[in-house]
Chain A
Amino acid sequence: MTKILIVAEHAGGKLNAATAKCVTCATAIAGAEIDIAVFAADAGDIAAQAAALAGVKKVLTVENAANAEPLAAVLAPQVAAVAANYTHVFGPSTTFGKDLMPRVAALLGVGQLSDIMAVESAYRFRRPVYAGNAIVTVEAPQDKKLVATVRAASFQPAASGGSAAIESAIESASAAADIPTHTRFVSRSAPATGRPDLQTASRVVSGGRALGSADNFKIIFGLADKLKAGVGASRAAVDSGYAANELQVGQTGKIISPELYVAVGISGAIQHLTGIKDARTIVAINKDAEAPIFEVADIGLVGDLFKIVPELEKALG
């Protein structure tokens, strides 16, 4: 019997969309029973959102003041304790899941499978390596618990309409788990932009090195607002200080799959392309006709971005 525990990611009382994508990945395993665990100071609203996801059997809550912030060192022993009765433990391949899940795996004495992009069976999966330049099919042993992260861009979020039971798992979590105090949350700077979140936006406009300055980068925000899009950036633009780190798209930044991706002044290094391969439509605007971005773009326009972007904004009305 395949029993999958999914660790919920949440912030500000809201379930992160990546959790619903983990559910879709889990439902691809035939006959799997799927539960979600919510670790929080106050799990109420989050558990209700998790319970509404189609395909989920049970939502387990572990409410503890120590769980107010997602610290891997604090959460991992609790996750490992709750995972005792499961064959699989999944988390999203976000910075939250990447930080937490390997710590859980090591506590359970097993390895981890990172970035599941496709399910072949309960113990056989596909995942990208070398910045997505190769896809490997990997088999995990059936006699060990499988801890894995799920590549969110590869799965659609699970539909709502479910009505899973909500239960507290505080006893099993705290009885077995020794919660360390050596790691403490200090602060988080999460800029409120009013724009769609980069990871879940259906449209994204990204800027690259060619923008030339943080001031010039503002035209990317202007175009994004016109398209009601999220904003992204290439590593070059982030390293040069034109855009904030959380906007980086690519191998070591965010992997996204919007309906529309507009790459402005981005040449298209392999590491960037790996972050946008799953976009439905890619539009590239670049002055260099030889730029590799045009090899993957559905629609390409060669020219000066400082002329084209204002024209485009105007044409969009």
Chain B
Amino acid sequence: MSKILVGLKRVVDYNVRVRVKPDGSGVVTDGIKMSINPFDEIALEEALRIKEQGGATEVIVVSIGAAETQQQLRTGLAMGADRAILVQADSAVEPLVAAKVFLKLIEKEAPTIVLLGKQAIDDDNNQTGQMLAALWQRPQATFASKIELAGGKAKVTREVDAGLETIEVDLPAVFTTDLRLNEPRYVKLPDIMKAKKKPLDIIALDTLGIETAGQFKTLKYEAPATRQKGIMVKDVNELIAALKQKGLV
């Protein structure tokens, strides 16, 4: 039995243009489309491919969030995950808390691989996988664009600033996904029906016996400074003239 644990975060959909509330207390989420964090979808796709190639026997999707997060977990089950766990939390948790939640689930499920998105596109933190690997005292391979498993080890190609880096890690390990790892599959209608029958366990966050309070206080949200609209030029000559005026050529 080798299991893969996959994290799925419910976030404001990739295509939504996020706006700050006028009172600065947060961003507008009422009536806004919510989806699985795109990097997490890539993580799930990779887990499913590993299982399909015989590298694992069970894929478990995990989310930490409000009751509505069951929608995203059902989508994960429709994509092909075997079962789901929702750790129900009334408010958002910080990455360190999320890592502690995953560690609790790891103690119970004993997975060989934990696959997470490299960052969630809401808070853009890019922390949970690394923190989990530290607490679990296991290897991390972040920003993965290729994962090859063989004999209790994994060779992972990572997207780094300089180009591509390959590292080898012993399993179990935590992997976080980058964009080019794979292209997630589309969910088919019959799979959505099937997913309704798959197990989805709900655990209350405060029953896990971990410190759930965050340490950072967000004082306010503001819209970013906007750039002033510039000028339009008609042709290359005008473009060169405009660049010259700014001392750029």
Is A298 touching B159 in the complex (CB atoms < 8 A)? Answer: no
Decide: A299 near B231, CB < 8 A? Known: A135-B222, A183-B139: yes
A88 neighbours in B (Cβ, 8 Å): none
Restricting to A272-315, which residues have a CB under 8 Å from any CB of B? 277, 281-283, 294-303, 308, 311-312, 315
B218 neighbours in A (Cβ, 8 Å): 136-139
Is B18 touching A133 in the complex (CB atoms < 8 A)? Answer: yes
Decide: A301 near B130, CB < 8 A? Known: A72-B142, A188-B162: no
Decide: A186 near B168, CB < 8 A? Known: A11-B162, A102-B127, A245-B159: yes
**Partner of B168 from A100, A180, A184, A203 at Cβ < 8 Å:** A184
Contact with A along B114-146 (1 / 0, CB 8 A): 000011011111111111111101111111010
Q: Nearest-CB distance from B152 to chain A (Å)? A: 11
**Partner of B140 from A11, A73, A96, A283 at Cβ < 8 Å:** A73
How many chain A residues touch the partner (CB < 8 A)? 86
The verdict on A244 contacting chain B, using a C-beta distance below 8 Å, is yes
Considering the chains assembled together, what is the distance between the CA atoms of A312 and B229 in angstroms? 23
**Partner of A102 from B14, B130, B161, B235 at Cβ < 8 Å:** B130
Restricting to B147-163, which residues have a CB under 8 Å from any CB of A? 155, 158-163
Is A114 touching B142 in the complex (CB atoms < 8 A)? Answer: no
The verdict on B189 contacting chain A, using a C-beta distance below 8 Å, is no
Considering the chains assembled together, what is the distance between the CA atoms of A188 and B163 in angstroms? 7
The verdict on A141 contacting chain B, using a C-beta distance below 8 Å, is yes
Binding site for B on A (CB under 8 A): 11, 71-73, 76, 94-96, 98-107, 110-115, 124, 128-141, 144, 180, 182-191, 199, 203, 227, 235, 238-239, 244-246, 251-252, 254, 259-260, 270-271, 277, 281-283, 294-303, 308, 311-312, 315-316
13 interchain pairs, CB-CB under 8 A:
A95-B143, A106-B99, A112-B131, A130-B121, A133-B19, A137-B218, A138-B219, A141-B216, A239-B179, A245-B178, A254-B161, A300-B231, A303-B235
Given contacts A187-B166, A301-B232, A301-B239, 10 further A-B contacts (CB under 8 A): A95-B143, A102-B129, A103-B134, A107-B134, A112-B96, A129-B124, A137-B219, A252-B178, A277-B227, A300-B232
